[in-house]
Amino acid sequence: MKDMGIINCSTTQAVPLIIGKDTVYVHSEIEQVFEDNQGNPTENLWKCHEIQYEKDEYIKILSEKNASLESQLTDTQLALVEIYEGMVV
């Protein structure tokens, strides 16, 4: 993982996720920029916070998040069953 910080990007890059050949770019805090550093008006300029992952690293992170979500969903379903069973009695 490489945290690139706040970067300038084009309109096509101002999206939350870009999947390249071997790198995944995750963008957050996407905002349009109306002036450059010298105060001149700009068009089609954006800034965002960019984190770069190797594809395998990103797939591993997604897999771990999915496993965690599955576990949380199971816990929620069990809790709902307990509540339902308590209401039926």
Delimit the domains of the chain by residue range: 2-88
pLDDT band at 23 (very low <50, low <70, confident <90, very high): very high
Contact criterion met (CB below 8 Å) for 43 and 20: no
Q: Residues 54-71: pLDDT tens digits?
A: 999 999 999 999 999 999
Q: What is the pLDDT of residue 5?
A: 97
What strand order describes the sheet that includes 17-19?
2-9, 41-54, 23-35, 17-19
pLDDT averaged over every residue in the chain:
93
